[in-house]
């Protein structure tokens, strides 16, 4: 049975008490979370410490949950006001999202910046979750991530936050194309993932999980997504 990754991208949402309540509710869930499912929670930078501590204190060994960051500075330590570098992130997380379409579109991140961020993640032994919306972005980063430990998330821009996901068949075709270029790495689908459609994606031959945005904010919805994946 293949390993399935379910990544919660909280984006710019929640404060500390809301994050802790979310973790408590997930811990109290009656769902059965299988060992072959890797759950990764990616909160805002301000919540990384409390989420990591909450998972340790509340969930403990009950569920295998990892922590990821939503971004990483393309610079190391130094005079980079507002930047959060890989050495700082590594204290609190194992994964980091890189190149999300919202970063590319809203913050002007081009292929060069994305590749610099991938390199910093790998330097500090963080596993990048590289987000791409087309094959050009794969080709732009293939030399940086080739033979490295990483994950790719295919997220078509038309599906993000719209409630209109890609078809499982087309997403699977994209995942296959990505693996043909980069090798047998995990490829996730992202874009309007819900408890109703998650299975249609994870049951495809080349898709290894999902990057979940809005639906991950509701713990009951997210728990059901994990269960149905």
Q: Cite the active site residues.
A: 100, 155
For residues 162 and 192, the answer to whether their CB atoms sit within 8 Å is: yes
Strands (E) located in the chain: 4-9, 37-42, 65-69, 95-98, 127-132, 151-154, 187-190, 209-212
Whole-angstrom CA distances from 74 to 8, 9, 47, 111, 149 are 23, 20, 21, 12, 18
Closest CA to 160 of 119, 193, 185: 193
β-pair partners for 98: 130
Strand 151-154 relative to strand 65-69: parallel, antiparallel, unpaired? unpaired
CB atoms under 10 Å from CB of 161, counted, come to 12
DSSP class of 158? G
Displacement of CA 52 from its chain's centroid (Å): 16
């Amino acid at each position: 049975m293949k390993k399935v990754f379910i990544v919660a991208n909280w984006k710019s949402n929640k404060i500390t008490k809301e994050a802790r309540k979310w973790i408590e509710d997930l811990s109290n869930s009656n769902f059965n979370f299988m060992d072959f499912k890797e759950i990764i929670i990616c909160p805002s930078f301000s919540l990384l410490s409390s989420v990591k501590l909450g998972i340790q204190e509340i969930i403990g060994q009950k569920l295998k949950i990892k922590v990821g960051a939503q971004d990483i500075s393309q610079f190391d330590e130094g005079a980079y006001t507002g930047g959060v570098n890989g050495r700082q992130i590594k204290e609190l997380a194992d994964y980091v999202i890189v190149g999300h379409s919202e970063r590319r579109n809203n913050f002007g991140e081009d292929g060069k910046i994305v590749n610099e961020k991938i390199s910093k993640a790998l330097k500090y032994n963080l596993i990048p979750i590289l987000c791409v919306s087309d094959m050009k972005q794969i080709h732009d980063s293939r030399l940086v991530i080739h033979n490295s430990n990483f994950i790719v998330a295919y997220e078509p821009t038309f599906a993000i936050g719209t409630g209109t996901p890609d078809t499982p068949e087309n997403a699977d075709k994209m995942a296959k194309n990505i693996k043909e270029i980069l090798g047998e790495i995990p490829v996730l689908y992202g874009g309007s993932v819900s408890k109703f459609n998650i299975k249609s994606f994870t049951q495809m031959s080349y898709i290894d999980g999902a990057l979940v945005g809005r639906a991950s904010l509701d713990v009951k919805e997210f728990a059901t997504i994990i269960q149905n994946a």
